[in-house]
């Protein structure tokens, strides 16, 4: 067996005993009478491609379709038969049809397996809370309409003095932070329901949907959310309160008046209580009102 593949399988078996079984449970979207490869074979092939840093589907087919590699994949997946690894067209076709929720199930299994192994216990905040960072990010921009779900933003083209529209796709990610590593635990696409939706989707709306998913997937996980100033608002505080989540959000002057007043009050209290200053700060950030950082960036 290829040396790096041995290491890969060792890690897989150590941390994720049920990994191949989880892949086998994936709901296959294809017509079952025409398929050559099971969902687990296709997903395992693409996983190897990414784990081994192969950057194109074509070079993957070239590198993996060797007798020894095929034999190894067959063994790891416990298959009765495997003559060849799937061609990249087959993989692309499968991924195109696959419901993203099916992949989310695999991710959830992996995160829960890692937490159960208790290998990251030392990274809990105050030995209790798991730090989950939330942030939205752009994944695609287009000059022309790409689909009915695109987000749109108008801008002024200075050269031709015309208002133009840019089309975008964004995603909101929730990531578990353990030391220098982050693990994605939830993803929510920020996209419009339809082209004529009266109001566009946005990061906060996506957060509300995502919070529901995180709560139902990780019901009793003690969470401390970390987010930028966008999250420092009443609706998000309410969600955190209802879900019993702690939070640390960046505070920008002017975002909410009541918080600015509260911040000044806390600061005043802190300044007037130099005794056990360090301890006090810690307490405020985690168990009392959240601590806010005043930022100078625009």
Query: In whole angstroms, how close is the CB of 146 to Zn ion at the nearest point?
Result: 4
User: Binding marks (x or -) toward Zn ion, 11..50, rule CB under 5 A?
Assistant: ----------------------------------------
- Beta-carbon neighbour count of residue 3 at 10 Å? 7
Q: Least distance in Å: CB of 104 to Zn ion?
A: 21
Range in contact with Zn ion (rule: CB under 5 A) among 15-23, 76-84, 138-146, 243-251: 138-146
State in angstroms the smallest separation of the CB of 147 from Zn ion: 3
Q: Interaction with Zn ion in 139-168: which residues (CB under 5 A)?
A: 146-147, 150
Q: Which is nearer to Zn ion, 6 or 147 (CB)?
A: 147
Whether residue 246 contacts residue 224, with contact meaning beta carbons closer than 8 Å, is answered with yes
Of 57, 60, 64, 103, residue with least CA distance to 82: 64
The nearest distance, CB 149 to Zn ion, in angstroms, is: 5
Between 40 and 201, whose beta carbon lies closer to Zn ion? Answer: 201
Packed helices 67-77 and 39-51: angle between N→C axes, nearest 10 degrees: 120
Token couple for 245: 């989540």
Instruction: State the nearest-atom distance from the C-beta of 140 to Zn ion, in Å.
Output: 7
Binding mask 85-124 for Zn ion (x = CB under 5 A): ----------------------------------------
Q: How many chain residues bind Zn ion (CB under 5 A)?
A: 3
CB of 151 to Zn ion, least distance (A): 8
Least Å distance between CB 60 and Zn ion? 27
- Closest approach, Cβ 100 to Zn ion, in A, equals 15
Cβ nearer to Zn ion, comparing 133 with 166: 166
Which residue lies nearer to Zn ion by CB, 40 or 191? Answer: 191
Of 150 and 185, which CB lies nearer to Zn ion in the complex structure?
A: 150
- In the bound state with Zn ion, the residue whose beta carbon lies nearer, of 45 and 192, is 192
CB of 146 or CB of 212, closer to Zn ion:
146
By the 8 A CB rule, do 237 and 208 touch? Answer: no
Query: Could you write out the DSSP letters of every residue in the chain?
Result: --HHHHHHHHHHHHH-TTHHHHHHTS---S-GGG-SS-HHHHHHHHHHHHHTT---HHHHHHHH-SHHHHHHHHHHHT-S--SSPPPHHHHHHHHHHS-HHHHHHHHHHHHHHHHHTTTTGGGSBTTTBEEEEEEEEEEEEESS---TT-EEEEEEETTTTEEEEEEEEEEEEEEEEETTEEEEEEEEEE--SSTT-SS---HHHHHHHHHHHHHHHSTT--EEEEE-GGG-SHHHHHHHHHHT-EEEE-B-TTS-HHHHHHHHHHHHHHHT--TTHHHHHHHHHHTSSPP--B----
* Closest to Zn ion by CB, 10 or 152: 152
Residues that bind Zn ion (CB under 5 A): 146-147, 150
């Amino acid at each position: 067996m290829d040396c790096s593949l041995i290491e890969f399988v060792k890690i897989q078996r150590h941390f994720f005993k049920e990994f191949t079984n989880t892949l086998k449970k994936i709901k296959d979207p294809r017509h079952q009478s025409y398929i050559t490869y099971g969902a687990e074979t296709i997903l395992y092939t693409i996983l190897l491609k990414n784990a081994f840093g192969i950057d194109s589907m074509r070079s993957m087919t070239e590198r993996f379709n060797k007798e020894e590699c095929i034999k190894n994949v067959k063994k790891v997946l416990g298959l009765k038969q495997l003559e060849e690894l799937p061609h990249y067209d087959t993989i692309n076709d499968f991924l195109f049809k696959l419901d993203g929720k099916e992949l989310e199930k695999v991710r959830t299994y992996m995160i829960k397996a890692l937490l159960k192994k208790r290998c990251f216990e030392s990274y809990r905040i105050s030995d209790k809370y798991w730090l989950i960072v939330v942030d939205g990010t752009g994944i695609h921009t287009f000059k022309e309409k790409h689909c009915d779900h695109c987000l749109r933003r108008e801008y002024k083209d200075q050269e031709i003095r015309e208002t133009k529209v840019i089309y975008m796709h964004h995603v909101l990610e929730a990531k578990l932070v353990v030391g220098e590593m982050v693990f994605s635990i939830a993803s929510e696409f920020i996209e419009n329901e339809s082209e004529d939706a009266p109001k566009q989707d946005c990061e906060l709306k996506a957060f509300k949907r995502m919070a529901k998913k995180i709560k139902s997937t990780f019901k009793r996980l003690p969470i401390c959310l970390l987010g930028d100033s966008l999250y420092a608002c009443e609706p998000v505080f309410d969600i955190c309160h209802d879900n019993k989540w702690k939070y640390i959000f960046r505070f920008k002057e002017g975002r909410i008046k009541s918080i600015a007043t509260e911040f000044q009050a806390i600061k005043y209290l802190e300044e007037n209580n130099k005794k056990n200053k360090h301890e006090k700060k810690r307490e405020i950030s985690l168990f009392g009102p959240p601590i806010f950082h005043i930022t100078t960036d625009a």
